[in-house]
Amino acid sequence: MRKTLKGFVTCACITASIFTLVCALGIFHIEKNVVNKLGVKHHQKQVQIENYKPSEGYVPNAQTAIKIAEAVWLPIYGKRIYDEKPFYTNLENGIWTVKGSLPKGHIGGAAEIDISKKDGKILRVMHSK
C-alpha cells in the first residue's frame, strides 16, 4: 500500500512539473466546469498550443511562393529545376501558381505548382512536356 501511494505521489509530482513547464513555454490553458457521470461538477483544464495565423496567410508574397516551389521541386526534379529560371508567379483566388520557364528556342515543358496562400498547402505539382 505504501509503495503504491509513493508511486502515485511521484507520478503526480512529475505530471504537475511537466504541466508547469508546458505553461511556462508559451502554451496556455482553458478552464471550464465539467459535470462527470455522477452529476458532480468539477473544474477541468485543457491545454492547447497557440497557433499563429498571419493575416496575409502563410504565403503572403511571390518570393515566399517561389521558395516553397523550389523546396518542393528540388527533391522531385533535382538541381536541373534551376535551369527553368526565372520562375513566374500568379495569384488568383487565394492560390499562388509558380511556373518555370524555358530559354528561347528550347522545346519542352516547365515545372508548375499551385500553393494555397492561406495555409501553404501544396495543391498541385506537375511538369508539362
Phi, psi of 79 (to 5 degrees): -65, -15
Distances (CA, A) of 112 to 13, 62, 80, 88: 54, 14, 14, 10
**Residue from 120, 71, 73 nearest 94 by CA:** 120
pLDDT at 121 over 90: yes
- Between residues 37 and 123, the one the model is more confident about: 123
pTM, rounded to two decimals: 0.61
User: pLDDT band at 65, cuts 50/70/90?
Assistant: very high
Distances (CA, A) of 120 to 53, 86, 108: 11, 21, 28
Which percentage of the chain shows pLDDT scores above 90?
A: 51
Cβ neighbours of residue 62 closer than 8 Å, sequence gap 6 or more: 89, 91, 96
Which percentage of the chain shows pLDDT scores above 70?
A: 62
Average pLDDT over residues 66-94: 96
Q: Name residue 48's beta-bridge partners.
A: 28
Q: Out of 2-11, 84-93, 116-125, which region has the weakest mean confidence (pLDDT)?
A: 2-11
**Residue from 113, 85, 112 nearest 101 by CA:** 85
Q: What is the pLDDT of residues 3-58, one digit of tens each?
A: 555 555 555 556 555 555 445 444 444 555 555 556 656 565 666 667 888 999 99
